[in-house]
């Protein structure tokens, strides 16, 4: 098992380039199933969740060509059986996107219930509601969701809650349905807009992505295109917060500053200096940060995917911060690990109260999920002494070369595995 060993207490300094957005890329890779011709995807992050999605396509019969580490050619015309392999589906949340894309193309799909980060209950009732409204029937048997439709007919879908995955799946099915679908109370995250741009470039007719009403007129044919995925706002936010948390001075490049406004705003409130350029954000901080309270909300609110990293930064801020994360019911599991660094945090339900301490000291901790893992790496960078972050496979699911990128910013972070250690001891 690999782990990160971090000797903390050094400010991050320099430039870091952000990779393609995980949560856009997983949807766009799955969307290749809807294309009637091969597609070339650029700026695809080299991360584990993408490996899983590409493997699902390959196992179902798609032809995949890795052009370079961030560019993939996908030809899904060879897929004839719309069945996603069990173990692969359970390896990530985005496997649920194969429900929508397979249904759109084959009018049927068999997809095991998706896996992904354990953030509490993650139902798919809204996805199923959307499929049902468009004319599909579903059954769940032995952990496998099966969908079938004679045809898909455009209709009005009102989501009871704002759901990213539900909105994306509804878009997939509606793109190939007959007539007009109107999705109301839709999610507005950057990946929804990126997916709509990708589908529209193939010939889809989608309007309103990025607002809470998306209108989709179904089409019969989607051509192949070459498409570049947007930069990852959460990866960018993670480096911004790491810079501020370590009293660093970092230029985060290849970003869309508009996607980062809620993070920029809160960093400024905490006392960091944040400067925006066209495709770059400069974050600098000196001295102690200030208490900052926030609530996570669907986009354009503060993203739940940045909550653990930002809360970690606040553990050494001056004063008491109150953080509420209502998006998922269990997104504070990392707090137990943070306490090992000496952080003073209490959690009541979906609210954490963080009493700033003067410093963190290194500890051995376990990543409990992807963003929790990133938060623990930030804690290790902030802390004096040595930190070991175990179970880093969670982090590899969504961050491309995080250790290399941090080393280039001056961090003392090394990847070790038990085999290396055993060899040294032996």
Give the range of 64-72, 163-171, 225-233, 336-344 binding ligand EPZ by CB under 6 A.
163-171
Pick from 34, 117, 136, 306: which binds ligand EPZ (CB under 6 A)?
117
Structure tokens belonging to residue 115: 């896996």
Distance (Å) of CA 39 to CA 63, 64, 157, 220: 11, 10, 29, 17
Distance (Å) of CA 220 to CA 148, 179, 205: 18, 11, 11
Q: CA nearest 66: which of 388, 57, 17, 379?
A: 57
- CB of 249: closest distance to ligand EPZ in angstroms? 27
Site for ligand EPZ, residues 293 to 322, rule: CB under 6 A: 304-305
Q: Which is nearer to ligand EPZ, 284 or 295 (CB)?
A: 295
Site for ligand EPZ, residues 370 to 389, rule: CB under 6 A: 370-371
Ranked by CB distance to ligand EPZ, the top (closest) residue is 165
| 143 and 113 Cβ atoms separated by less than 8 Å | yes
Catalytic site includes residue 53: no
Among 53, 92, 117, 280, the active-site one is 117
- CB of 24: closest distance to ligand EPZ in angstroms? 8
Q: Which is nearer to ligand EPZ, 375 or 409 (CB)?
A: 375
Pick from 31, 84, 124, 196: which binds ligand EPZ (CB under 6 A)?
124
Decide: is 125 part of the binding site for ligand EPZ (CB under 6 A): yes
| 308 and 394 Cβ atoms separated by less than 8 Å | no
Q: Which is nearer to ligand EPZ, 247 or 299 (CB)?
A: 299
Decide: is 333 part of the binding site for ligand EPZ (CB under 6 A): no
Q: Rounded to an integer, what distance in angstroms lies between the CA atom of residue 162 and that of residue 126?
A: 9
What per-residue string of b and e applies to 45-72 under the rule 16 or more CB within 10 Å gives b? bebbbbebbbebbeebebeeeeeeebeb
Length of the chain: 426
Pick from 52, 56, 94, 267: which binds ligand EPZ (CB under 6 A)?
94
| 34 and 224 Cβ atoms separated by less than 8 Å | no
Give the range of 66-74, 120-128, 332-340, 409-417 binding ligand EPZ by CB under 6 A.
120-128
| 143 and 112 Cβ atoms separated by less than 8 Å | yes
Active site residues: 117
Q: Which residues bind ligand EPZ (CB under 6 A)?
A: 22-23, 26, 93-94, 117, 121-127, 161, 163-166, 187, 304-305, 327-328, 370-371, 398
């Amino acid at each position: 098992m690999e782990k990160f060993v971090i000797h903390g207490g050094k400010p991050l300094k320099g430039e870091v380039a952000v990779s393609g957005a995980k949560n856009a890329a997983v949807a766009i890779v799955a969307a290749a199933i809807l294309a009637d011709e091969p597609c070339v995807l650029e700026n695809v992050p080299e991360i584990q969740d993408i490996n899983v999605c590409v493997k699902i396509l390959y196992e179902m019969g798609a032809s995949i060509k890795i052009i370079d580490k961030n560019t993939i050619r996908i030809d899904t015309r060879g897929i004839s059986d719309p069945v996603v392999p069990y173990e692969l589906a359970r390896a990530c949340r985005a496997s649920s996107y194969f429900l929508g894309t397979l249904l759109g193309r084959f009018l049927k799909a068999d997809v095991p219930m998706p896996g992904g980060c354990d953030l509490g209950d993650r139902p798919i009732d809204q996805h199923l509601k959307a499929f049902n409204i468009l004319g599909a029937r579903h059954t769940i048997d032995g952990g496998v969701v099966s969908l079938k439709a004679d045809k898909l007919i455009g209709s009005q879908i009102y989501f009871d809650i704002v759901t990213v995955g539900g909105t994306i799946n509804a878009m997939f099915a509606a793109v190939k349905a007959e007539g007009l679908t109107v999705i109301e109370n839709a999610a507005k995250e950057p990946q929804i807009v990126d997916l709509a741009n990708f589908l529209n470039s193939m010939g889809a007719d989608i309007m309103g992505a990025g607002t809470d009403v998306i209108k989709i007129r179904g089409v019969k044919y989607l051509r192949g295109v070459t498409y570049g995925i947007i930069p990852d706002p959460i990866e960018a936010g993670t480096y911004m917060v790491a810079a501020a948390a370590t009293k660093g001075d970092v230029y985060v490049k290849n970003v869309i500053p508009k996607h980062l406004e809620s993070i920029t705003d809160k960093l400024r409130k905490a006392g960091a200096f944040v400067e925006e350029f066209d495709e770059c954000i400069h974050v600098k901080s000196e001295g102690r940060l200030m208490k900052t309270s926030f609530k996570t909300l669907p986009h354009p609110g503060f993203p739940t995917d940045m909550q653990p990293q930002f809360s970690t930064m606040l553990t050494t801020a001056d004063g008491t911060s109150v953080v509420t994360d209502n998006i998922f019911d269990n997104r504070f599991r990392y707090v137990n690990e943070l306490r090992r660094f000496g952080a003073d945090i209490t959690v009541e339900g979906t609210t954490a109260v963080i009493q700033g301490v003067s410093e963190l000291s290194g500890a051995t901790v376990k990543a409990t999920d992807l963003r929790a893992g990133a938060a623990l790496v930030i804690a290790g960078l902030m802390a004096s002494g040595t930190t070991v972050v175990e179970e880093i496979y969670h982090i590899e699911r969504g961050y491309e070369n995080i250790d290399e990128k941090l080393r280039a910013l001056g961090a003392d972070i090394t990847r070790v595995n038990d085999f290396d250690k055993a060899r040294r001891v032996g």
